Structure 1
């Protein structure tokens, strides 16, 4: 026993020592990096000031020389040396002006601002003179000490001479040195302050580690001994032995109490199994098995009696979004709250013989058979739509979901349980198609809608081979210089009878039927082939990318990296020019699987963007765990950013936070110049939308980039 205690203590002390060493190493790296960053900031400050001052001096010099040249035109034409001298001396009084020279077309000095003009008639022979004399327009030359700006003086098309002004860089360099010195001093002061805080935090960490070691030694060893003894008793089958008791509210206390309740759970096992067979374990409602048995029994009793029965199928709208973003525990809490609201409504309006069941997932079924069941079902459905449309508070957040309800009647719609349940499902689906958070009664026309969907699926199977499916390319622009840097590939279906089918319709059919797994690779291959032709003659540094949407089903299949690699190999497109777009929900629904696939793609050089970013419940915290290169701000934020301060604030926050993680930001749906300007001011990297360019064919896109 002593050996076990020594081993536990030794491992704990080793772990603490390693942790302290890692922390110290990280702090040392942080301090070293801070020094490097201080130097980088100072260098960047110097470069920025140098560029800014030179640009200011150039613009000021150009304006001054241009004005002086205009003023000298008439005096030089009439060879009025007195007036020329006055103008030259006036220009020499400006700050940082080292010299002013007026010369004739052959480069001989006419005036230098002095009274005696000692150099009159002499040829200018300094290194900058040749270009000053020969330039046909205003010309700027730089040397380490002087900025020489020259401009010819013209009468009509005849050159009668020129003027040169030299600006000294000495005061500019002195100003830059003072500013950089001040910045370095400030950075060093900040570094000293940070060092004091780091030392204080390190000392606090050491004290905390010592306290934790003492506390763990006292609170872990003795409970572990008691649990070992209890485990040995259970091992030999003695479930009635004395069990350890603990009132602690931590993991050790929970473990002790778990041992204590083990023998009691065996006695309750058989009773719980029977209850679970007919009851939903989460909500306590009747489950599918018990409901089906009750429905069969009631239908048998009602046949020939001239009485009616109604089934209401209620499905929570967008419930998957809760599980994907807030987690399954939050999803369970939503189901429990929905079940309570439905139960209250059924008890109020459903009658004494009403039965409520949960069929699994987010689907609830209600049976009513008292009185006028159509009217009762209508009242109950309206009540459910209202009650379930109210927000639910989950994890201190309001969640708006709603419900879609399908209603079917016996014997009007069907006489058997299976047909009734199928009809209820169809009606519920039509309620979702109608916009969700509403109810629909089953009708024969709904079967026709289902048949149309099946027909669309059948015709979609051969659409690619028949040439009905094609790709359009919407240009993507870089906001900093308004240049096209790539395009998004968009799939379109030109049906021979229906015309242009909306992508939201046929892509949903392809996704649900699994056809997307066949169409998706073909779209990817065609887009890669088109992009490979775009930049055949372009500079390697100016290559255009193509972005292709990837469906959740393609991501789940697991072979996406192999499909991408094969397309790149066949088309010759470099991996860095392919961007894959995935929705937030597709990535976070199985974050571990998605992270592994995206990491594989990253190693090949392919870029990954998150599409429709900001519309789900997810946050930028996911971006730290999932390797993505860019996010596309959803068009709903862009559409209202000019008039809605909240959308503008959210858009600005997304841009700033994504940039802090080194992630590119793309805005989609830019349809106004004001949106474009506002996004550029806030540092957004890329944008696309109808104001910038409509989706076009590959040939038309080639014309745009020529």
Structure 2
């Protein structure tokens, strides 16, 4: 028994020692597990926070950078509707607090709202200073807001910027929920493993070592794998495969959750990249994607002896579609144009060709030389440009109506014109602009001489802005006489520009610049008001009971805007001139594009008593046919016909026919450009009603004109 008790004591002692050792080991393991649980939770929280903040920042910078590119043309043309649509699209994205578009001085242009309450206000919040002065995409944080800003530029000129604020609380809330879920799962796992370790420890102390191994294998390693995957996602590797061993416990759930999160982030990244590189309306490449592709092509072409051409195609008079038919019709036109261009590029551009829409109504085509061509790149670009002009000049059916637009194409070549992407794109824009100047619906190759012409034209446009306020612009009046008795019955108001340095600038030069730049929309009403005031002055002095009329030229832009009747009514009310003494002159080509719109507008004007004359008659595409469809009171035979009526039987016959046709419709006929006595006599013989020209009266200033009245 003694021996037995001794063995039992030893056994008990040994078991006690084993149990103490096992409990000690278990205590150490439990303490180690708690520390690992805290470490895992902290590591996961930090990793998720860094990943969420970095993902939000990069996504926000991509969105704001693309938004700045898309805002360039609308901000340059001060198109608040387009700026508002872009801002509202960004503002609707989850977590976006505000979107602000500002000019170069930091004044708010648009904030994405309907009524723009901050319009014109200087941004003075703590983050405004850095946002205004940013030279590139700039991110700053303050409290719970991430502010991302980017400059808006046209070429190298900074015209403003855009800011977007993102709510960091949204990210933190998602992070806290994820951390809480992770913490709960880890706590549940700790409790399960503690029970398991305790049960196994009661059976055999050696299982403590096994339990430690099991903990290491089943808990620590998966968490570390998930942390490694989170760091990879944080570095931008969104498609990183997640560890998966088929487990169905909490760790398995955590792995699956991480896997789904990674897939979701990757999917959103692909969607954001698709949105950033694709034109939403046409599905073509956008400016950003095209620029990256062009840079890549140029890297491969340098030193390879191959050539490249860029074709910049801009739809002629596209604004007229939006103004008359609405923006939905304009979008339809853009899609039809894009499809036509894409078909031509696929047939004639070769496999390496690339088509992109740069926004608005501008498309750019990249064509490479190579096996697809049997001649140099200039010939290939010419063939494609010829096809573009011909195909895009065909009518487009929009809302059951045929619309004729055409396109102007500018072509620049690599390496002949430039070796860099920026210079090539600038040259293509210049060449396209020259095609517009050349009459539209044509193409032009870039030449170095174009740079000087563009600079002169831009300088002229800058000087023309404010010329009226500086007193450089004035009106001259050319008398209009009745052929039957030689009486002066009115005058045409003619705009003149006396430049302080260059003297008199030809109207054919600056009127075209004003028309293309849109300045005519501001100058037109100013000319109308000044002419009406002068007419009131001379009629107060004119002898007899028959007041003299004043005729004022109206530009196609003013006609297309649809606001002309209101402007005319306001001017007549302000000046006190009778509507019967105001004649509005429109060129024949101004009404050709949309005779229905022009007809309705002119009918509203005539109902007020204002007379409408069709200027430069006979030079349009349809000639006499307009007299049946467009309500006018008079036509002015173009001076090109009057100049040769004494020696050209055809011009005399056409002039006689115009007079007879107009009289049969009850329309007055005016001959302009009468410079010889024989022309005056012949026109009177043929029954022409009125005439004007240097032989009977030169354009004169208002004071000299009033002296003619006696």
TM-score, structure 2 as length reference: 0.49
